[in-house]
Amino acid sequence: MSLWEYANPVRFIRFTDRVLPPLAVLAVVCLVVGLIWGFFFTPDDYRQGSTVKIIYLHVPATLMAINAWLMMLVASIIWIVRRHHVSALAARAAAPVGATMTVIALATGAIWGQPMWGTWWAWDPRLTSFLILFLFYLGYMALWEAIENDDTAADLTSILCLVGSVFALLSRYAVNFWNQGLHQGASLSLDKEENVADVFYFPLLVCIAGFVLLFVALVFLRTQTEIRARRTRALIARERAA
C-alpha cells in the first residue's frame, strides 16, 4: 500500500470518511481535557500571574500556524513535481485553517502582551514575521479565488507558498536570528532549564495534541469538500460544452 494511492480522489474520500469521525472525537477530547486541565487545575506563574493560562491557546495555535504553512509547502511541491490534484486541493483546504490559527496566535499574543509588556503590539522580529505570514495566508487564499482555471491557480499558489515559506520559518526562528525584541524564546525546549515547568508542560502537550488532531480533521474534511467542488465545476463545464 503506497501513500500515492491516496492521490486518487475516490480512495482519498473513502479513507478520510473512515478516519474522520474517530479523529474528530479524539481532537475534541484532547482539547476539552487539555483546556480544562490548564485553565482550572494549574497554578498561576510567579511572574506572569494568571495570564500564563493563555499559553494553552497561544503556543498550540502558533505551532499550527507555522506547521500548516509547512504542510501546504509539502503539498505544493508534490503538486509541482507529480501533478496530483488532491495535494493541491489539500494545500488549498489547509490555508483557512492555518490563517485562523495565525489570527488566534496574533490575538492571544496581543491580549497576553498588553499586561506583560505594556503594549498590544511591537515591531519585534517574531511578531512582524508572523504578521507577514498572516498576509501571505490572505494572499494565498485570494489567489485561489481569483483564478478560474484550477490548474493555473494551483501552479501560481504553489509558487506563492514556496516564497511564503521563508516567513513561516522566519517566524519560528526570528528570535534566534536577531536575539532582540520583546518576545521571549521558545516555550518548549529539549533543554530542561529552558522548557516550561512540568506543571504547565503536560496540559500544554495535551492541548497541542488537540490542535494537531483538529487541524488534520479539518484539512481532511475541507479537502473532501474541495474535491467535490472541483468535480461539480467539471461536470457543469461538461454540461455547458455538450
Partner 1 sequence: MMPDLGDYAGAVLSAYAVSLGLIVGLVVLSLWRARRVRAALDKVERRGRRT
Q: Any residues with CB less than 8 A from the CB of 58 and at least 6 apart, and which?
A: 104, 105, 108, 109, 112
Beta carbon nearer to partner 1, 84 or 222: 222
Instruction: Give me the least distance between CB of 177 and partner 1, in Å please.
Output: 28
- Region of residue 181 (phi > 0: left; psi between -120 and 50: alpha; otherwise: beta): left
Asked if 111 is part of the footprint of partner 1 (rule: CB under 8 A), the reply reads yes
Asked if 221 is part of the footprint of partner 1 (rule: CB under 8 A), the reply reads yes
In the DSSP assignment, the letter for residue 149 is S
Asked if 16 is part of the footprint of partner 1 (rule: CB under 8 A), the reply reads no
Task: Report the distance separating Cα 112 and Cα 109, nearest Å.
Answer: 5
Cell numbers that stand for 44 in this block: 498561576
Of 119, 180, 189, 232, the one binding partner 1 (CB under 8 A) is: 232
Segment contacting partner 1 (CB under 8 A): 94-102, 121-129, 158-166, 175-183? 94-102
Beta carbon nearer to partner 1, 40 or 123: 40
Instruction: Give me the least distance between CB of 131 and partner 1, in Å please.
Output: 17
Instruction: Give me the least distance between CB of 188 and partner 1, in Å please.
Output: 19
Helices within the chain (DSSP H only): 9-40, 55-82, 85-117, 125-146, 150-178, 198-241
Site string for partner 1, 55-84 (x = CB under 8 A): --xx--x-----------------------
Asked if 207 is part of the footprint of partner 1 (rule: CB under 8 A), the reply reads no
Work out the widest C-alpha separation in the chain, in whole angstroms: 72
Closest CA to 128 of 87, 183, 91: 183
Asked if 235 is part of the footprint of partner 1 (rule: CB under 8 A), the reply reads yes
Instruction: Give me the least distance between CB of 31 and partner 1, in Å please.
Output: 8
Strand partners, 49: 45
- Region of residue 176 (phi > 0: left; psi between -120 and 50: alpha; otherwise: beta): alpha
Asked if 54 is part of the footprint of partner 1 (rule: CB under 8 A), the reply reads yes
Asked if 236 is part of the footprint of partner 1 (rule: CB under 8 A), the reply reads yes
Closest CA to 141 of 103, 175, 183, 181: 103
Spatial contact of 205 and 8, defined as CB atoms under 8 Å apart? no
Segment contacting partner 1 (CB under 8 A): 3-11, 32-40, 65-73, 137-145? 32-40
**Contacting positions for partner 1 (CB under 8 A):** 35, 39-40, 44, 49-51, 53-54, 57-58, 61, 96-97, 100, 103-104, 107-108, 111-112, 114-115, 214, 218, 221-222, 224-225, 228-229, 231-232, 235-236, 239
